């Protein structure tokens, strides 16, 4: 059985279609060459109603990804933003994961995209905890991947493009095959980069460290949220190159992502991190993260888009 709610509606290039009708031709450009850029956004069921977390920043990154790949999105920022909100409204779940996707469609084949149209779709589903139900409290066991993240000037890491996720799949499948839940990839210089679908942070000597954008990482919106929150809490935050072995001797390590939220890592390559459970700084940041997404803290940055269902 599909994990999707197949009675849902999908926004497909300007109109809502039934889930089963949200299909494309197998000869579409994206199917052959991976020509897609996308986003992943969570909507939370808060005491004040459903709220989408940092939708503005996600739509902005979608347009940035498209720009890098010379994809001219045939809608304005506001149209895509509104379509995201509408997609959640028509489907009516109190919480959901939203997947806006821009792709080169059906016209002709050949690497040069030529006249293939740029299509935009927005789907949604209810997605539970990304790395397992226990992960947020207990932490996860991961390995350093034997696969390297894409080198600079090959696949642009700042673009969230579908093709990057072929590399992510190698990282994830290898980790799972070896009994881990996730892999941490190094960059082409051997420094820590990111997980297959998450940014990474370490707590080292009381400071909060994360790899810089030059280490082949996605400019994560949760990464930015955690940096902001850590500074609010008075921590020194450093975007710094992280040698692999620093992971093993860090006090705490955790993943961040829209899907993964703030997930503690309790072991890497079977080496226990810190005390082998969620560390105090991770817990503090995790609690603050959930307080923000649930609207329990004042929304001083305008991160929440509240939804009113009719």
Q: Which residues bind ligand PPE (CB under 6 A)?
A: 40, 168, 194, 197-199, 218, 220-223, 256-260
Minimal distance, residue 304 CB to ligand PPE, in Å: 16
Alpha carbons within 13 A on the beta-carbon side of 51? 19
For residue 123, the surrounding DSSP H or E stretch is strand 118-125
Three-class SS of residue 296? coil
Contact at 8 Å (CB) between 210 and 230?
no
Closer to ligand PPE by CB, 256 or 267: give it: 256
Closer to ligand PPE by CB, 108 or 146: give it: 146
Catalytic residue positions?
Answer: 160
Closer to ligand PPE by CB, 145 or 256: give it: 256
Three-class SS of residue 130? coil
Token couple for 28? 């579409």
Query: Helices 77-91 and 55-68 meet at what angle, rounded to 10?
Result: 130
Minimal distance, residue 124 CB to ligand PPE, in Å: 12
Minimal distance, residue 16 CB to ligand PPE, in Å: 22
Closer to ligand PPE by CB, 108 or 154: give it: 154
Minimal distance, residue 97 CB to ligand PPE, in Å: 7
d(CA 73, CA 251): 44
Closest residue to ligand PPE, Cβ-based? Answer: 40
Closest to 217 (Cα-Cα) out of 245, 236, 189, 237: 189
Q: What angle do CA 7, 13, 17 make, to 5 degrees?
A: 20
């Amino acid at each position: 059985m599909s994990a999707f709610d197949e009675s849902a509606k999908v926004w497909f290039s300007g109109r809502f279609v039934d889930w089963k009708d949200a299909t494309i031709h197998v000869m579409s450009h994206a199917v052959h060459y991976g020509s897609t850029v996308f986003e992943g956004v969570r909507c939370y069921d808060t005491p004040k109603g459903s709220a989408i977390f940092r939708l503005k920043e996600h739509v902005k990154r979608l347009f940035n990804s498209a720009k890098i790949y010379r994809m001219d999105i045939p809608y304005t920022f506001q149209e895509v933003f509104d379509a995201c909100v509408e997609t959640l409204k028509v489907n009516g779940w109190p919480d959901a994961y939203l997947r806006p996707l821009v792709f080169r469609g059906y016209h002709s084949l050949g690497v040069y995209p030529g006249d293939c149209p740029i299509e935009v779709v927005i789907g949604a589903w209810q997605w539970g905890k990304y790395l397992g139900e226990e992960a947020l409290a207990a932490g996860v066991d991961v390995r350093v991947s034997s696969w390297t993240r894409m080198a600079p000037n090959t696949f642009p890491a700042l673009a969230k493009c579908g093709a990057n996720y072929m590399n992510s799949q190698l990282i994830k499948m290898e980790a799972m095959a070896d009994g881990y839940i996730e892999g941490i990839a190094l960059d082409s210089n051997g420094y820590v980069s990111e997980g297959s679908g998450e940014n990474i942070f370490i707590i080292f000597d009381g400071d909060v460290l994360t790899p810089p954008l030059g280490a082949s990482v996605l400019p994560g919106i949760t990464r930015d949220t955690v940096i902001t929150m850590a500074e609010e809490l008075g921590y020194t935050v450093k975007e710094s190159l992280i040698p692999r072995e620093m992971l093993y001797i860090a006090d705490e390590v955790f993943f961040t992502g829209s899907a993964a939220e703030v997930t503690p890592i309790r072991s890497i390559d079977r080496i226990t991190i810190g005390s082998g459970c969620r560390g105090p700084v991770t817990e503090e940041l995790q609690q603050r993260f959930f307080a923000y997404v649930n609207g329990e803290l004042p929304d001083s940055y305008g991160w929440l888009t509240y939804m009113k269902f009719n």
